[in-house]
Structure 1
Amino acid sequence: VTSSSHLLGTHLGTAIDGAECTIRMNDAPTTGYSADVGNKTSFRVVAHSSLYRVLKRPQEFVNKTPETMFIFWGPPTKMQKSLLKIIQRVCASFPNMTAYVVSPGRMKQFDDLFRGETGKDREKSRSWLSTGWFTMVIAVELCDAIHVYGMVPPSYCGRHPPPRRLPYHYYEPKGPDECTTYIHNERSRRGNHHRFITEKRVFASWAGLYNITFSHPSWT
């Protein structure tokens, strides 16, 4: 389940909660949005940059769905001992909580996969992999069939006339515009950015191989 505003008004909550396994990302809440995004959370994949936002709201992210398994990821330089200690402390406070941290060796495998699929070296192209990349790879490894809700296809933001403006996250109505965010990240060469559109092209190539369906919007 992506964090996309395309999910608002879809009434997909019941269908999403009926899935055998439901994966969410970062600090995307379900409270107040469950009619559209459901409540069930089997896994929550969390970037180092979202860790504090998730752990400071345990009632929403830890207590609400005690069956949730957390997978925290970040470059080894970002996953310092202080962050790991915070994760350990929260786990000690909430015995029901199960958490894993992606190891440096596994992080390199995610980088190698990106280079193998795109021909681009992540570091040389000054980019970070997105939480969506980690989540899709984890889903492919775990699941026989995958239904992705709310992710736009790679060509979406280049359409004419352009798509209507939508907030990047369903839970941040005044947040940045979705396509502005995607295009800025894809084209920027200074600083570190996510190559969202490049990643989506890879996901499109995986659809037939790994039985992936994209809906709201549909990719077909």
Structure 2
Amino acid sequence: MGLRLSGKQGQQSHRMVIFVAIFILMTLLFLYGSNNGNNDVFTPIHVAVNNFLKTTDLKKWAGKDGYVTFHGNKNMTLHCNSCALVTSSSHVLGSQAGEEIDRTECVIRMNDAPTLGYETDVGSRTTLRVVAHSSVFRVVRRPAEFLHRMDNNPVIIFWGPPNKIGKEGKGTLYRLIQRVSMTYSNLSCFSIIPSKMRRFDSLFHKETGRDRQKSHSWLSTGWFTMVIAVEICDNIKVYGMVPPNHCGKKPGSKKIPYHYYKPRGPDECVTYIQSESARRGNHHRFITEKQVFSRWAKQYNITFTHPNW
């Protein structure tokens, strides 16, 4: 009888040890997961992972009704057979691609990237400029550069929080852009409406598996510009954009300024890597975005030059 009791007590003790071990393990996993949620270390999406992600048909996703004018009753109707998307990267310097860019049907630029003084490498024409809310002042305060030097019927698309550039907010930026639209009658200025802004977030989530807000990310102007280019262009040639693995393959490579017009600005690869792996605050995920662009290339007739990839 005594032996039977001892056996049962031993089994109970053994089960208790297993239960405690499982409890401790689950607790540690929970704490680890919670800690990761607060300090999300954003790792780039790799091609193998992307095979399990949903691919959006951007041609069906596109909608010209997602843009609203700042003045008058203009509609966003721009469509081009061929587009030159000129980035702000210093890789365009020395390319001597200016004439080729200017021969393209439509030329797309971003934010306050200038052409004056850089025509040999980046051309002089601008059909469409995509501008973040943080760059509005830099663009409108230099009308001779950014407004007079555009095509006959140029378009500027502004993106940003609705309370800053949206019609409902009617803040300083909205009134400023509206005044510019009224002054330059041939210029069409549009903002991206809130519902379409949410769709840009949803697209990022579908293409990367990452929730933008939970991963503490800001979509870059490059992301907006590429998606808009796919909407309006049948063929896109991108100038100056590096491939997603560029900053990891040559640790000792020559440093390149992030912007071609800011030679003393931060190094491009340092900016990319720091932004991609940042734990705190909101950052662009440049490398992950370029991995998505790489997957889109064949689907949407996108080619990359200077460098070629």
**Aligned partners of 1:164 and 1:128: how far apart in 2?**
28
The change in CA–CA distance for 1:20 and 1:206 in structure 2 (over 3 A counts) is: same
**Aligned partners of 1:196 and 1:77: how far apart in 2?**
26
Q: State the partner residue of 2:111.
A: 26
**Aligned partners of 1:52 and 1:153: how far apart in 2?**
31
Contact 1:186 / 1:194 at 8 angstroms: preserved in 2?
A: yes
Within 5 Å, give how 1:50-129 maps onto structure 2. Answer: 50-65=135-150, 66-79=152-165, 80-82=169-171, 83-129=173-219
Contact 1:41 / 1:67 at 8 angstroms: preserved in 2?
A: no
Q: State the partner residue of 1:132.
A: 222
Q: Which structure carries more helix by proportion?
A: 2
**Aligned partners of 1:130 and 1:161: how far apart in 2?**
24
The change in CA–CA distance for 1:7 and 1:176 in structure 2 (over 3 A counts) is: same
Contact 2:127 / 2:155 at 8 angstroms: preserved in 1?
A: yes
Quote how far apart the aligned CAs of 1:159 are: 1.0
Q: Once structures 1 and 2 are overlaid, which stretch shifts more, 64-73 or 177-186? A: 64-73
List runs of 5+ in structure 1 lacking aligned partners: none
Quote how far apart the aligned CAs of 1:135 are: 0.5
- 1:15 is paired with a residue whose SS is helix
- 1:23 is paired with a residue whose SS is strand
- 1:127 is paired with a residue whose SS is coil
**Aligned partners of 2:197 and 2:207: how far apart in 1?**
16
List runs of 5+ in structure 2 lacking aligned partners: 1-85
Which of the residues 271, 283, 301 maps onto 1:193? 283
1:121-140, CA deviations, whole angstroms, 9 ceiling, x for partnerless residues? 00111111000000000111
Quote how far apart the aligned CAs of 1:161 are: 4.1
Please, what is the CA RMSD of the aligned residues? Answer: 1.1
**Aligned partners of 1:67 and 1:166: how far apart in 2?**
34
- 1:144 is paired with a residue whose SS is strand
Quote how far apart the aligned CAs of 1:75 are: 2.4
1:97-128, CA deviations, whole angstroms, 9 ceiling, x for partnerless residues? 21000110110111110000000000111111
Q: Once structures 1 and 2 are overlaid, which stretch shifts more, 43-52 or 59-68? A: 59-68
1:57-98, CA deviations, whole angstroms, 9 ceiling, x for partnerless residues? 111001122532100001224434221111001111222221
Q: Once structures 1 and 2 are overlaid, which stretch shifts more, 60-69 or 206-215? A: 60-69
1:123-168, CA deviations, whole angstroms, 9 ceiling, x for partnerless residues? 1111110000000001111111110000000000001343310110
**Aligned partners of 1:161 and 1:175: how far apart in 2?**
19
Q: Once structures 1 and 2 are overlaid, which stretch shifts more, 23-32 or 154-163? A: 154-163
Q: State the partner residue of 1:142.
A: 232
Q: Once structures 1 and 2 are overlaid, which stretch shifts more, 87-96 or 41-50? A: 87-96
Q: State the partner residue of 2:269.
A: 179
**Aligned partners of 1:207 and 1:166: how far apart in 2?**
25
Instruction: Say yes or no: does 1:218 pair with 2:308.
Output: yes
**Aligned partners of 2:136 and 2:197: how far apart in 1?**
17
**Aligned partners of 1:64 and 1:40: how far apart in 2?**
7
Q: Identity, % of aligned pairs? A: 61
Q: Which amino acid aligns with 2:153?
A: E
**Aligned partners of 2:162 and 2:260: how far apart in 1?**
30
**Aligned partners of 2:130 and 2:239: how far apart in 1?**
16
Q: Which amino acid aligns with 2:148?
A: N
Q: State the partner residue of 1:6.
A: 91
Contact 1:156 / 1:163 at 8 angstroms: preserved in 2?
A: no
Q: Which amino acid aligns with 1:11?
A: Q
TM-score (norm 2): 0.69
